[in-house]
A and B are shown apart, each in its own frame.
Chain A
């Protein structure tokens, strides 16, 4: 090999192309071409795996940095959102009927006011440059507010419990119910019964965040719904409205 090398296809062939990909020295267009080969060509994928494994030792030199606490809840929310849409989702009508199963939990109005303030204050810190947020009060049976949620136009959502709720070792899962006839509930992830939770609405669901869409909270088995649809145990629901 000469002192300088201007070729796009290196002398060493695939093993070297794989090494260049793993090192990360390729430009965006070259990288995506190589990434496609990894998907299609098992022999080439093996070359990449060779370098990933052998050069992995370099990562020992990188200092570990603890990610912020909120990072995990974002991941949990993202994996709770079913990407492969299951077909077993109930119609919106069935969901509303289930509101009769809301559990009755006492609350004071001061809790509601506090929750509103927290939701707005929190969203204000993350969504300042965005358009006005949408707000929802998720009522329980009898109309008492169970949660207050605010969503910025970029999809940053915060949901705050407005009363004392118990999950009885179940998980609470938050659902977005779009407007329209195709209104299948979409999971936004698990939430906590006792503290504010920040969730980033997945980009594919952001278009469904509109005035008159609804948010609902269901009780699910620990870890959340495995079917992609909420259980019959809906504990709170409310429409999104403009502030």
Chain B
């Protein structure tokens, strides 16, 4: 079993204990995942105070909903990342704070931004599959999909960033998603 797989089964076991009301197990989950989830929240919210509030909310949600985690359907870390992203995005949408609008990163930036080994959350084959399938898309389509996921921005904001009409942005993302889904299912 490689390190990521070992970590995955350890986390799944801890989540099962959390579902049974074990506070010490929540502490284990927190120690293993809070830096990644805080990074995810911070990236979306771009505000430490807001990200801290959301992080608290995330683990309270984990405490209450650990019973709904299904190891057959999701890996523990992607399940946790999904909760963190949803909370952060909901917070972003509900706040009146206008977001920075930055130009999208170029493909070169993306390649330079290789994550450290410790930061990797999903198994190598899953990561490779996503990379391969993204590679089959038009570059601008894969770039906006990636940017949407990481920054939690709306169609409207993406359209502004890329300086294209809203309808065009919707078309790019939807086409990208359709093609991506077919590829990821294979």
Query: A interface vs B, CB < 8 Å?
Result: 1-7, 10-12, 15-16, 19-20, 22-28, 31, 35, 46, 49-50, 52-68, 71-72, 74-76, 78-79, 83, 200, 223-224, 226
- Which residues on the B side are within 8 Å of A224 (C-beta)? 23
Query: B interface vs A, CB < 8 Å?
Result: 21, 23-24, 26-27, 30, 34-36, 38-40, 42-44, 52, 55-56, 59-60, 63-64, 73-75, 77-79, 81-82, 85-86, 89-90, 93-94, 110, 113, 115, 118-122, 126-127, 129-131, 145-146, 148-150, 152-156, 158, 165-168, 170-171, 173-175, 177-178, 180-181, 184
The reply to whether A4 and B165 form a contact with Cβ atoms under 8 Å apart is: yes
A6 to B156, CA, bound (A): 12
The reply to whether A28 and B94 form a contact with Cβ atoms under 8 Å apart is: yes
Q: Give A66's nearest chain B residue, CB to CB.
A: B35
A55 to B121, CA, bound (A): 12
- Within 8 Å by CB of B126, from A46, A57, A76, lies A57
Q: Give A77's nearest chain B residue, CB to CB.
A: B56
- Within 8 Å by CB of A57, from B110, B130, B173, lies B130
A4 to B175, CA, bound (A): 10
- Nearest Cβ in chain A — how far from B11, in angstroms? 13
The reply to whether B81 and A54 form a contact with Cβ atoms under 8 Å apart is: no
Q: Give B167's nearest chain A residue, CB to CB.
A: A4
The reply to whether B152 and A24 form a contact with Cβ atoms under 8 Å apart is: yes
- Which residues on the B side are within 8 Å of A19 (C-beta)? 177, 180-181
The reply to whether B43 and A57 form a contact with Cβ atoms under 8 Å apart is: no
- Within 8 Å by CB of A53, from B55, B73, B155, lies B73
The reply to whether A24 and B89 form a contact with Cβ atoms under 8 Å apart is: yes
- Nearest Cβ in chain A — how far from B141, in angstroms? 12
- Which residues on the A side are within 8 Å of B55 (C-beta)? 67, 71, 75
A23 to B181, CA, bound (A): 13
Q: Give A80's nearest chain B residue, CB to CB.
A: B23
Known: A27-B93, A58-B150. 5 other contacts (CB 8 A): A22-B149, A25-B155, A56-B75, A61-B113, A79-B60
Q: Give A224's nearest chain B residue, CB to CB.
A: B23
The reply to whether B158 and A62 form a contact with Cβ atoms under 8 Å apart is: no
- Within 8 Å by CB of B177, from A16, A46, A75, lies A16
- Which residues on the A side are within 8 Å of B146 (C-beta)? 58, 61
The reply to whether A79 and B152 form a contact with Cβ atoms under 8 Å apart is: no
The reply to whether B184 and A31 form a contact with Cβ atoms under 8 Å apart is: no
- Within 8 Å by CB of A63, from B44, B81, B115, B174, lies B115
13 example contacts (A-B, Cβ-Cβ < 8 A) are as follows: A6-B167, A12-B178, A20-B177, A24-B89, A25-B154, A27-B93, A28-B93, A57-B126, A60-B115, A63-B43, A75-B59, A75-B60, A223-B23
- Which residues on the A side are within 8 Å of B165 (C-beta)? 4
The reply to whether B177 and A63 form a contact with Cβ atoms under 8 Å apart is: no
